Amino acid sequence: MNRLYLILIFFISVNLSAQEGTVILSGKIRSDSLAIENVHIINKTSNRGTISNKNGTFKITVSENDTIHFSNIQFKTKTVIITKQDLQNGNLNINLTQRANELEEVVIIERKNMAKELSLPNADKKPLDKLERNLNAYSQASLPIVIIATLLGQQGGIDDIYNIVSGNRKRDRKLKKLIDEDKKYEITQENIQIIRDHFKDDFFINTAKIPFVHIDNYIDFCISKEIIELYQKERFLEVMDIFIKDREEYLISINRPAQ
């Protein structure tokens, strides 16, 4: 009796499944003819899933029009809608496309001073060039003092005497002075051009009454009046006032006979 009851239950279940169109579907997943293991197969309609084995095969319960997702981190996700034909065939052959190695966008920030970013000592100081290193290494004392220090066995004695006697220290000091003067001149010329471009030649010629050929010299003459600092603070009216008021002093200076 119990056996007959179980058989009846089985046939009723099979009949209900057939009526609902639900079947256990087999399938195989490949990529370029190679079987793919560990692909997640999810029936989004029934919220049931499985995973492909090392041979790429799987089984999953489906009905017509169910949505099936096939996903793996190395492959592009694929979505399949189950058709009546799929149910009749009883199997699916799925081909997945391998993902390209896509990197997330990387933002590169250029660090102007990596030592400062790392909070290293003296990070704010500009590195010394060879000439500056030489000048720092030279003793700043006079020759007699250096000779005495050498006799007392102090560090750097012989080298200090040689740099003084050979003229290395004097030469490098002079060279440093010339370099500094050149840099100062370049900065001055840049500032003169910036101010001239801002106020225009028409202002100097018609308002300040400065001849065209003297405009650069006049701006240079007024630099001692702190026009650069005022310009950088955008106090333009004060700069213009200086240019107008100092005209007479400048013209007298250039017309004064040479001594």
pLDDT at 258: 53
Question: Which range in 2-6, 134-138, 151-155, 206-210 is most confidently predicted, on average pLDDT?
Answer: 206-210
What are the extents of the domains in the chain?
A: 2-95, 167-255
Mean pLDDT of the chain: 81
Mean pLDDT of 31-35: 89
CB neighbours of 134 closer than 8 A, spacing ≥ 6?
168, 172
pLDDT digits (tens, 9 = 90+) for 57-110: 999 999 999 999 999 988 999 999 999 898 888 889 999 998 876 555 556 666
Contact partners, residue 150, CB within 8 Å, separation at least 6 = 157, 158, 160, 161
At the top level of CATH, which class does the domain 2-95 belong to?
Answer: mainly beta
DSSP assignment letter at 98: B
Give the C-alpha separation, 64 to 191, whole Å.
80
Question: For residues 212 and 169, which has the higher predicted lDDT (pLDDT)?
Answer: 212
Tell me if the pTM is above 0.75: no
**Is the Cα dihedral 159, 165, 171, 173 positive or negative?**
positive
Q: Is the pLDDT of residue 123 over 70?
A: no
Q: pLDDT tens across 175-209, in order?
A: 888 888 888 889 989 999 999 999 999 999 998 89
Beta bridge pairs of residue 68:
43, 80
